[in-house]
A and B are shown apart, each in its own frame.
Chain A
Amino acid sequence: MGNPAEFERIVNDFYQDLYRFAYSLAKNQADATDLTQQTFYRFATKGDTIRDKSKTKSWLFRTLKNDFLSQARRSQKFQHIPLEDAGPELPDEQSEDPSRSVDSHLVVEALQKVDETYRIALSLFYMKGLSYKEIAHTLEIPIGTVMSRLSRGKAQLKSALSAVA
């Protein structure tokens, strides 16, 4: 890393959100810790290639997401369902409201039942520090597509919360 002080500032600014994102994907502390450390290691060695420094946050989240997908598929621990195979599940007025008494463990548990593509978008969405534009940059898709994935993912999350509650 060219500038240790700048590296330290970026670590302090983002390590918590990155860890929570990693935890929501990997669902266990050890893998979430490794993913976070690996992401910063990559940043330390390759961060100088980021031309637009305002996109550093998106770069970090995207790197973590890509590493997670790469590792998860390699270990075949997670089932991948292509987006085109998943049908739309829009929220409807009669669905039970599962939002009562949600805690982080319950949410993470329920998220595992959401299709991977939607789960990643949802995790980024519920991370308070990321704007819509940053989510779009992270996923490298238009904002409209982000909204579409979120809508479908949210419907699945509600359904999953009802099941695990």
Chain B
Amino acid sequence: MTLEEAKEILSVYRDDLPLDELPEVSLALTMPETNDALQEWFKEEQKFDQEISAAFSEIEVPKDLAARVLAEAPTDTEDQKPTESKIVPFPTRRLWIAAAAAVVLTAAGLVNYFAFPPPVQFPGTEFSSVSKFRNDMAFYANSRFVLAHMTEDFAEARDWLRDHQAPSYEETPGAIVSYEGMGCQTFPWGEHQVSLICFRNGNDDIVHLFVANKDAFKELMPASELQALQVERKLETGGWITEDKVYLFVGSDSDVKIGSLLASISGV
């Protein structure tokens, strides 16, 4: 090996080179041992490499780059996988990115509107009328809302409501226990808190069960009047009163009947 050949190798030597695959590197490495000038030259080369590497690591990276990359990443490769021809030159891409961002923001706003609808408001401070409760709960059942806690287990729904200081049942009422739970929710009704438990009846129809504390009402209508089925806002409603709670079933559309469900409640 000539001196020039050794220098060509040594000038780019790094200790991760696979020496077993490159015997000429091992040979070149022995030459500085007997040549002081070459050894000094080799040290300078290594020093040069370290300084250039250090300069590279000083190239400033935009702080928000990772976040931008992650924000741009497609979430569904099957739907959004681009073909080669769809990847446009990067100077032009910025316009596409801006346009895409506008579309995404608009879509996100729509998704947000439908996925997280604004809460239904019941203004006022005093609710003494059970008939108003009936009407308001039918209104709520007709509105868009999301369940705060999803569960098929009525006992779990009860515990969740208790944890949120919301009115609930001690034991799952009547025939509900044999049905499939969906989840629960609690929301303010004036100054009081009302609970909602959703489930599917034997016909796979969604039924709402609203629960309010009895002290939310200044004057209670006779129990028989609440038990009588009544259509409010096109939804069948009917309920019962216990020692400290008022319960109300509300169907999810005009075809949902709650008569047999109500009849399964003990004492009704």
Q: Are A42 and B89 in contact (CB under 8 A)?
A: no
Pick from A15, A23, A97 the residue with the most CB of B within 10 Å: A15
Q: Are B93 and A38 in contact (CB under 8 A)?
A: yes
Q: Are A20 and B61 in contact (CB under 8 A)?
A: yes
Of A36, A44, A91, A157, the contact of B7 (CB 8 Å cutoff)? A91
A106 to B56, CA, bound (A): 10
Stretch at the interface among B64-72, B101-109, B167-175, B252-260: B64-72
Of A75, A90, A106, A144, the contact of B55 (CB 8 Å cutoff)? A106
Q: Are B61 and A16 in contact (CB under 8 A)?
A: yes
Interface size on A, residues (CB 8 A): 61
A104 to B74, CA, bound (A): 33
Q: Are A20 and B59 in contact (CB under 8 A)?
A: yes
Residues of chain B in range 16-50 having any CB-CB distance to chain A below 8 Å: 16-18, 21-22, 37, 41, 44-45, 47-49
A90 to B81, CA, bound (A): 46
Fill in one digit per residue for B78-121: 1 if any A CB lies within 8 Å of its CB, else 0.
Answer: 00111000010111011000000000000000000000000000
Residues of chain A in range 32-66 having any CB-CB distance to chain B below 8 Å: 33-38, 40-42, 44-46, 48
Pick from A123, A132, A148 the residue with the most CB of B within 10 Å: A132
Given A16-B61, A45-B80, A99-B47, check contact A151 B90 (CB 8 Å): no
Q: Are B75 and A4 in contact (CB under 8 A)?
A: yes
Of A7, A75, A144, the contact of B22 (CB 8 Å cutoff)? A144
Q: How far, in Å, is A10 (CB) from chain B's closest CB? A: 10
Q: How far, in Å, is A97 (CB) from chain B's closest CB? A: 6
Indicate whether A165 reaches chain B with its CB closer than 8 angstroms: no
Of A48, A93, A132, the contact of B16 (CB 8 Å cutoff)? A132
Given A90-B7, A104-B58, A104-B59, check contact A99 B66 (CB 8 Å): no
Fill in one digit per residue for A114-130: 1 if any B CB lies within 8 Å of its CB, else 0.
Answer: 00000000010111100
A45 to B12, CA, bound (A): 36
Fill in one digit per residue for A72-106: 1 if any B CB lies within 8 Å of its CB, else 0.
Answer: 00110000000000000011010001010011101
Q: Are B44 and A126 in contact (CB under 8 A)?
A: no
Fill in one digit per residue for B1-19: 1 if any A CB lies within 8 Å of its CB, else 0.
Answer: 0001001110110101110
Q: Which residues of the other chain, B, contact A144 by a CB distance below 8 angstroms?
A: 22
Residue of A whose beta carbon sits closest to that of B80: A45
Q: Are A36 and B48 in contact (CB under 8 A)?
A: no
A8 to B68, CA, bound (A): 11
Residues of chain A in range 123-142 having any CB-CB distance to chain B below 8 Å: 123, 125-128, 131-133
3 smallest CB-CB distances across A and B, nearest first, come from A34-B90, A150-B12, A99-B48
20 A–B contacts, CB within 8 A, in A order: A16-B61, A31-B90, A33-B65, A40-B72, A44-B73, A45-B82, A67-B90, A91-B11, A93-B41, A104-B55, A104-B58, A104-B60, A126-B53, A143-B17, A143-B22, A147-B9, A148-B8, A150-B11, A150-B12, A154-B11
